[in-house]
């Protein structure tokens, strides 16, 4: 691909007033052509007001407000529908993932070698030392997902998944909450996408710092792995 690709960055946010502006400012420093789309999922802590303000300052290209809290997957679907770039990626609003790594992750797609690139937290990149059982849970979910998709991913649950926009917009995504990571992985595998994986750094946060994922989300992911892999929707979306 010869011309510069536009990377659409979707930033879903629910009660992230403490970090959302810092994330957007970091994104603006990334040396890429970016389209930044923030989706406020009915936050109650002033996140929406911050997004409207930084939107007026041109730190974000579009702000979408959900009147009711509908979940991360629903926020991402709103962002995907609004995106106009060549490639789409999700940027969580909690400072756990470093936007400075996006140019490296984009390279396999820019070179025409990949349809999707996963940034793996388990391929040796620097990371903050935190919860042992979270790490075990992530690896177990990835293993189970791999058994159904026949992929050899190391980090299925990673936030950083860069996907060609024309492909992503074609996938029949329905998840409203944290099942999105499982669903998009299943759909990419079913579509025969060329997937690459590259190491990334990870600065995880504690529950005191606002982490939202709990063991119940992990339990739900087990159900989603079975659901999205065993019962794919019919249609022509798998055609490349």
Looking at the DSSP bridge assignments, the partners of residue 11 are 38
Percent helix, strand, coil in the chain, to 5, is: 40, 15, 45
Which among 68, 21, 23 has a CA at the least distance from the CA of 44?
A: 68
Q: Residue 94 has which token pair?
A: 């909690």
Q: pLDDT tens digits, residue range 180-211?
A: 999 999 999 999 999 999 999 998 645 454 55
Whether the Cβ atoms of residue 1 and residue 114 lie closer than 8 Å to each other: no
What pLDDT score was predicted for residue 207? 47
Mean pLDDT to the nearest integer, 66-82: 96
Which residues, including other chains, have CB under 8 Å from residue 103's CB and lie 6 or more apart? 30, 31, 32
The chain-wide mean pLDDT, for the chain, equals 90
Cβ contact 78:141 at 8 Å: no
Structural tokens at position 83: 């995106």
Token pair in block for residue 187: 């759909």
What's the pLDDT tens digit per position in 105-122? 999 999 999 999 999 999
Q: Report the pLDDT value the prediction gives residue 61, as an integer from 0 to 100.
A: 96
In the chain, the domains with their CATH numbers are 6-230 (3.90.550.10)
Tell me: the pLDDT tens digits for 125-153? 655 555 566 677 788 999 999 999 999 99
How far is the C-alpha of 171 from the C-alpha of 191, rounded, in Å?
Answer: 8
């Amino acid at each position: 691909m010869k011309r510069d690709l536009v990377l659409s960055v979707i930033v879903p946010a629910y009660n992230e007033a403490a970090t959302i502006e810092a994330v957007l400012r970091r994104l603006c420093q990334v040396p890429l052509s970016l389209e930044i789309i923030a989706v406020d999922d009915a936050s109650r802590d002033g996140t929406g007001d911050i997004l409207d303000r930084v939107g007026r300052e041109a730190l974000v290209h579009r702000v979408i407000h959900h009147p009711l809290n509908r979940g991360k997957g629903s926020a991402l679907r709103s962002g995907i529908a609004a995106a106009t770039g060549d490639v789409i990626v999700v940027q969580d609003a909690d400072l756990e993932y470093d936007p400075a790594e996006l140019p490296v992750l984009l390279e396999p797609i820019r070179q025409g070698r990949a349809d999707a690139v996963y940034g793996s937290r388990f391929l040796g990149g620097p990371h903050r030392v935190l919860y042992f059982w979270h790490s075990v849970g992530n690896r177990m979910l990835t293993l189970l997902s791999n058994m159904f998709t026949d992929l050899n991913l190391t980090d299925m649950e990673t936030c950083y998944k860069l996907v060609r926009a024309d492909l992503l917009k074609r996938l029949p995504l329905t998840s409203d909450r944290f099942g999105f990571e499982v669903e998009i992985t299943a759909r990419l595998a079913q579509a025969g996408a060329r997937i690459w994986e590259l190491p990334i750094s990870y600065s995880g946060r504690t529950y005191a710092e606002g982490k939202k994922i709990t063991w119940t989300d992990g339990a739900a992911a087990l159900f989603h792995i079975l659901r999205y892999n065993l019962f794919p929707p019919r249609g022509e979306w798998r055609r490349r």
